[in-house]
Amino acid sequence: MHHFDYKAGRLHCEDVDLGKIADAVGTPLYVYSTATLRRHASVIAAAFADIDCLIAYSVKANGNLAVLATLAAEGCGADVVSGGEMLRALKAGIPARRIVFSGVGKTREEMTLGLEQGIHQFNVESGAELETLSEVASSMGVKAPIAIRVNPDVAAGGHPNISTGKQGDKFGVPWAEAEPLYARAGELTGIEVCGVDVHIGSQIGDLEPMRRAFAKTVELTRRLRASGHNVSRIDFGGGLGIPYEASDAPASPADYAAMVRDVIGDLPVQVILEPGRVIAGNAGVMMTEVLYQKPAPDRTFLIVDAGMNDLMRPALYAAHHDVLPLNAPEKTDRNDTYDIVGPICESTDKFATRRDLPPVKSGDRLAFLSAGAYGAVLSSQYNARPLIPEVLVDGENYAIVRRRPSFDEMTQLEAMPDWLS
């Protein structure tokens, strides 16, 4: 469910004509819908309303400050994976007590920041990290609240590159090592054991692998409690999939919540969730303008002004994004077939292969849908292209929430060494 629709033949985000935004801001650019962000956050909150639950939005999906502030106002906490994401969440008004800190490679500086701020929980991913966190906390005279991220050895996820819960993945503590590590955690002066954490992957549409992983985690929690550990929270991570095309039918938040309630049964725990894509994914589009058509013997290329540096998902994961023209096609239009490519000097700079679209010409604009998660955050300045602007719509209003940098801003961190100046 999202708020990008044709009105009077023109694609709108909520009540704003996307063509008007493109005229004012220039292409390529991202546009996000406040109503969609709010709706997704509230649907998840409603699905879990009857249990003690912290919805810690996964900042990595879309960390724009205005997006975070929108979600903070909906009561979301944050799942962060770096000091930078933590500072973003705090700056956007998410209280530290609603922040969980995940990731396999936290530095001492990042641990110190989290402890100074008083975050809800560190999700620890190895014995070495646990020892370091204890040292850092002890030196500050505090205890770090922790969950250990366990690897349940369950495969899931929309693409091998986004599966994280299988033996051999770098994430989590191997299953057999989890209980000995909790025993060690109980001995460490700088550590306060609070919970168990699991996250098995992303873009998961089928609940069964999650159910298996979560059931194992609940079993482990019961055993840990029986052996005297104060495990009062289970963090089930993120990972719920979204529809990228009409034929996708991922499980709904309500089905997901029913499954979670079923696996936790009567266990008295706070549930922590780290949804990213399911909140932000369908709340954003990337708009681009067609520069040229280039006929080839076996196909027609549509060369657009956005590149793989602006939206990496097709190049990284062969991901599909639906494409809509900003002007609604006429009923009489038949589709043509195009390969949609960008201007970057890489063969992977390709957004779609043999895609059917109504006839398109230079100067027409297109919207890549479902680009609100892992879109802008993954972008780069490759080929010395500026990061593209981000715009947030709310009803009939819109605002630029990240502007396009100038060439001077793009190069201002660079310096000439003495011998060249």
Instruction: Candidates 165, 209, 237, 372: give the one binding ligand LLP (CB under 6 A).
Output: 237
Residue 290 near residue 22 (C-beta atoms within 8 A): no
Closer Cβ to ligand LLP, 286 or 373, answer by number: 373
Q: What is the dihedral of CA 112, 202, 304, 344, to 10 degrees?
A: 60
Candidates 27, 33, 58, 379: give the one binding ligand LLP (CB under 6 A): 58
Asked if residues 350 and 361 have their Cβ atoms less than 8 Å apart, the reply is: no
The tokens for 262 are: 């079923």
Q: Toward ligand LLP, which CB reaches closer, 73 or 377?
A: 377
Does 199 interact with ligand LLP (rule: CB under 6 A)?
yes
CA distance 59 to 17: 28
260: alpha, beta or left, given left = phi > 0 and alpha = psi -120 to 50?
Answer: alpha
Query: Residues 130, 188: contact at Cβ < 8 Å?
Result: yes
Helices (H) then strands (E): counts for the chain: 12, 21
Tokens of 106: 């936290």
- 106 belongs to the binding site for ligand LLP (CB under 6 A): no
In the numeric block, the tokens 């709108």 are attached to 12
Residue numbers 324-363 binding ligand LLP by CB under 6 A: none
Nearer to ligand LLP, 225 or 320 (CB): 320
Residue 345 annotated in active site: yes
CB 60, min distance to ligand LLP, A: 6
Q: Which is nearer to ligand LLP, 240 or 324 (CB)?
A: 240
Nearest distance in Å: CB 309, ligand LLP: 15
Structure tokens at 293: 């058509």
Q: Can you tell me which of 33, 34, 82, 102 binds ligand LLP, judged by CB under 6 A?
A: 102
Out of 27, 47, 78, 79, the only residue in the binding site for ligand LLP (CB under 6 A) is 79
Tell me the window of 25-33, 82-90, 196-204, 243-251 that interacts with ligand LLP (CB under 6 A). Answer: 196-204
40 binds ligand LLP (CB under 6 A): no
Per-residue binding string, ligand LLP, 360-399, x by CB under 6 A, is -------------xx-------------------------
Q: 57-96 b/e with 16+ CB inside 10 Å = b? A: bbbbbbbbbbbbebbbebebbbbbbbbebbebbbebebeb
Q: And the tokens for 139?
A: 């030196």
Cα–Cα distance measured from residue 143 to residue 193, given in angstroms and rounded to the nearest whole number = 9
Shortest Cβ 312–ligand LLP spacing (Å): 8
Q: Choose the stretch contacting ligand LLP; rule: CB under 6 A; options: 34-42, 53-61, 214-222, 406-414.
A: 53-61
d(CA 86, CA 58): 11
- CB 154 → ligand LLP: shortest distance, Å? 15
Q: Which span sits near ligand LLP by CB under 6 A: 58-66, 246-254, 258-266, 328-336?
A: 58-66
CA distance 319 to 6: 24
Least distance (Å) between residue 362 CB and ligand LLP: 30
Contacts 24+ apart (CB under 8 A), 105-108: 106/133, 107/83, 108/132, 108/136
Count of residues that bind ligand LLP according to CB under 6 A: 22
CB of 292 to ligand LLP, least distance (A): 28
Residues 253-282 that bind ligand LLP (CB under 6 A): 274-278
Within residues 157-176, the interface with ligand LLP by CB under 6 A covers: 162
Binding part of the chain for ligand LLP, among 12-20, 107-115, 236-244, 327-335 by CB under 6 A, reads 236-244
Minimum distance between the CB of residue 171 and ligand LLP, rounded to whole angstroms? 7
Of 410, 409, 244, residue with least CA distance to 311: 244
Euclidean distance between CA atoms 233 and 317, whole angstroms: 33
Residue listed under structure tokens 């560190």:
122
Three-state secondary-structure class, residue 225: helix
Residues found near ligand LLP in the complex (CB under 6 A):
58, 60-61, 79, 102, 162, 199, 202-203, 237-240, 274-278, 313, 317, 373-374
User: Which residues are designated catalytic?
Assistant: 345
